[in-house]
Amino acid sequence: MLILGIDTSCDDTSASVVENGTNIISNIISNQAEIHKKYGGIVPELASRRHIEMIWPVVDEALKTACVTFEDLSSIAVCHGPGLIGSLLVGCSFAKAVCYSKGIPLVAVNHLEGHIFSPFLEESKLPFPFLALIVSGGHTSIYRVDGFSKYRELGRTRDDAAGEAYDKVSKLLGLGYPGGPIIDKLAKNGNPKAIDFPRAYLPESLDFSFSGLKTAVLNFLKTAISHENSNYTYNPPTPPLEKGGFINDIAASFQASVVDVLVRKTEWAIKKERIKRVTLSGGVAANSELRKRIKEMGEEREVEIFIPSAPLCTDNAAMISAAGYYHYKSGNFAGFDLNPKAYMPL
Ligand code: KG4
Ligand code: ZN
C-alpha cells in the first residue's frame, strides 16, 4: 500500500511516498532556511509564498523518484496542523484538489502524530506502549502512546519549545538560523561546565520551561561582556580555548542545561508510567548531545531507546505517510471540507 505524504506545516515543503507505513520509497524536502536566514527566524508570509512555488515540483519529484503516478496511490496523507496557517493551507488545498480530481481517499494527520510515528520508518517492530518525547521548534512534550490514536500528554512546555530556545539563543549570539545545528556544532568545542545556566526542573511536574534559560543567556551576555555586576561566574577552561572559545562555552553550557532537563524529565516519566521504551523525535532530536545522553540513560536504566536518523527527526513528509497509514487502516478519512488549524491538540 503506497501513501503519498505531504507536510507544509512550517518552512519546509515536503512530499514522500511510503509503503505500508514503514518503507520509504522517496522523501523530498525543499528547505527554506536560505530565505529566512537574514531575519533570524521564519517569516510566515514568505514561507507560505514559497510553499506555493514548491508544492508541485516537490510532489512531482517524490512521485518520479518512487517511479509511481497518482493512480498507484492508496491515499494522500496531509498534515493539517498544528503549524503556520498560511503554510498549512497550501499543503491542504493541494492535497484536497488532487484527491478530488483523481478520486483518491484523503487522510489528515496531526503534525505531532507524524513526529510520534517517525521512528516506525526505521523500526517496523516498535511495540506499544511507549513514551514519546517530541522536541522541536514549536513543541516540547512527552506523551504516553498506547497505540494508534491512544495518546496521553504527560507534560509540555509552559513557554518556549526547546528548539525555539536554540534558535533564540543563536540569534542573541549572532550565529544565524536555524540555531540548533549551529549551537550543536560549536558546543562540541566548548566547556559545558563553563557557565552554570539554570535548569527549570519544575518539581512534581513533567512540564518544561525554557524561556528562563534564554533570558539567563541574554543576561549573561549583557553582564559578562561588560565584565561588571555579573550574576554568573565564568570559569574559562584550562588550557584556554583558542579564539572563539567564549562563544563555544556559552553554546556548550546552554546545551547542557537543555539536555539535562530533557533527560531528567524522561527519567521521571519512565518511573511514573513504568514504561521501559522511549522514542525521541522532532528537530532537536537531531542534536548529537541529546541523542548520546538519552542513549546512555537508556543503557543505565535498561530502557529501550528509539531515535530516528537525523533527517527523519526534522520535519519531513515520510512521517506524515507513516501516521497516515494507520488512519487509512482504521478507515479514518477526511472530507473535502478539511480545514487546517494553527493550534491543534493531539
Ligand atoms: O521538527 P522541526 O524540523 O520543526 C518543527 O516542527 O518545529 O524542528 C526544528 C527545530 C529548530 O528549532 C532547529 O533549531 C532544531 O529543530 N534543530 C536542532 C538541531 N537540528 C535542528 N536543535 C538542536 N540540535 C540540532 N542538531
Ligand atoms: Zn515538526
Pairing of β 12-19 and β 23-31? antiparallel
Considering the domain architecture, whether residues 272 and 191 belong to the same structural domain is answered as: yes
Q: What integer best gives the mean pLDDT of the chain?
A: 93
Ligand 1 binding pocket includes 163 (Cβ within 6 Å) = yes
Judged by DSSP in three states, 198 sits in: coil
Residue 227: pLDDT band by 50, 70, 90 thresholds?
low
Give me the pLDDT at residue 232, please.
53
Q: Which domain holds residue 216?
A: 128-307
Considering the domain architecture, whether residues 51 and 142 belong to the same structural domain is answered as: no
Contact 260/290 with Cβ under 8 angstroms?
no
* Atom 14 of ligand 1, residue of closest alpha carbon: 180
Distance, CA of 336 to CA of 90 (rounded, Å): 14
If one counts the domains in the chain, the total is 2
Residue 175: pLDDT band by 50, 70, 90 thresholds?
confident
Q: For 113-156, write each residue's pLDDT tens digit.
A: 999 999 999 997 899 999 999 999 999 999 999 999 999 999 99
Judged by DSSP in three states, 2 sits in: strand
Ligand 1 binding pocket includes 282 (Cβ within 6 Å) = yes
Please determine, for residue 236, whether its predicted confidence score (pLDDT) is greater than 70.
no
Cα 149 to chain centroid distance, Å, stands at 19
Average pLDDT over residues 197-222: 94
Give domain status of residue 342, yes or no: no
Give me the pLDDT at residue 231, please.
54
Paired residues of 6 in beta bridges:
15, 78
Average pLDDT over residues 76-92: 98
Paired residues of 134 in beta bridges:
141, 281
Residue 342: pLDDT band by 50, 70, 90 thresholds?
very high
For position 200, which CATH number holds?
Answer: 3.30.420.40
Residue 58: pLDDT band by 50, 70, 90 thresholds?
very high
Considering the domain architecture, whether residues 184 and 162 belong to the same structural domain is answered as: yes
Contacts of 120 (CB under 8 A, 6+ apart): 21, 22, 126, 322
Residue 39: pLDDT band by 50, 70, 90 thresholds?
confident
Termini Cα distance of the chain: 25
Task: Name which of 82, 137, 145, 164 is nearest 279 in CA terms.
Answer: 145
Ligand 1 binding pocket includes 17 (Cβ within 6 Å) = no
Give me the pLDDT at residue 46, please.
96
Which ligand ends up closest to the CA of 161?
1
Give domain status of residue 340, yes or no: no
Considering the domain architecture, whether residues 89 and 207 belong to the same structural domain is answered as: no
Q: What is the DSSP letter of 82?
A: S
Please report the DSSP string for 137-177 in residue order.
Answer: SS-EEEEEEEETTEEEEEEEBSS--HHHHHHHHHHHTT--S
Judged by DSSP in three states, 29 sits in: strand
Please determine, for residue 229, whether its predicted confidence score (pLDDT) is greater than 90.
no
Contact 219/231 with Cβ under 8 angstroms?
yes
Considering the domain architecture, whether residues 145 and 19 belong to the same structural domain is answered as: no
Ligand 1 binding pocket mutation candidate from 136, 168, 186, 257 (most atoms within 8 A of CB): 136
Residue 310: pLDDT band by 50, 70, 90 thresholds?
very high
Average pLDDT over residues 161-165: 97
Pairing of β 106-110 and β 75-81? parallel
Ligand 1 binding pocket includes 10 (Cβ within 6 Å) = yes
Give domain status of residue 194, yes or no: yes
Paired residues of 13 in beta bridges:
30
Distance, CA of 139 to CA of 116 (rounded, Å): 12
Residue with cell 577552561: 237
pTM score, two decimals?
Answer: 0.92
Please determine, for residue 234, whether its predicted confidence score (pLDDT) is greater than 70.
no
Measured in Å, residue 169 CA sits from the centre of ligand 1 at 13
Q: In what order do the strands lie in the sheet with 12-19?
A: 23-31, 12-19, 2-7, 75-81, 106-110
Ligand 1 binding pocket includes 316 (Cβ within 6 Å) = no
